[in-house]
Amino acid sequence: PGIVVLSFFIAFLGSYASISACEQFRLSKIGIVYSQYASPFFYLVLMAISLGGAGIWCMHFVGMAAMSLPDADGNHLELRYDIGITLLSLVLVIMFTLMGFYVSSHDVVFMKTKREIVEMFVEDAAAMSMKDVQKMKTFQMVMIIGTRAPQHLLLGGLITGSGVVVMHYLGMAAMRFQGHIVWNAGVISASVIIAFVASVAAFWILLRLLSIYPDQERL
- What pLDDT score does 162 carry? 95
Interval 124-139: pLDDT, tens: 666 666 565 555 555 5
Interval 4-22: pLDDT, tens: 899 989 999 998 898 888 8
Q: For the chain, which residues make up each domain, given as ranges?
A: 2-107+150-218
| The model's pTM | 0.80
- Cβ-in-10-Å burial (0-12, 13-18, 19+) of 203 comes to buried
Q: How many other CB atoms are there within 10 angstroms of residue 8's CB atom?
A: 13
Backbone angles phi, psi at 175, to 5 degrees: -70, 135
Segment among 110-114, 156-160, 179-183, 187-191 with least mean pLDDT: 110-114
Interval 64-96: pLDDT, tens: 888 777 777 777 778 888 999 999 999 999 999
Residue bearing the bigger pLDDT, 130 or 158? 158
Q: Which residues have a Cβ under 8 Å from the Cβ of 136 and sit 6 or more positions away?
A: none
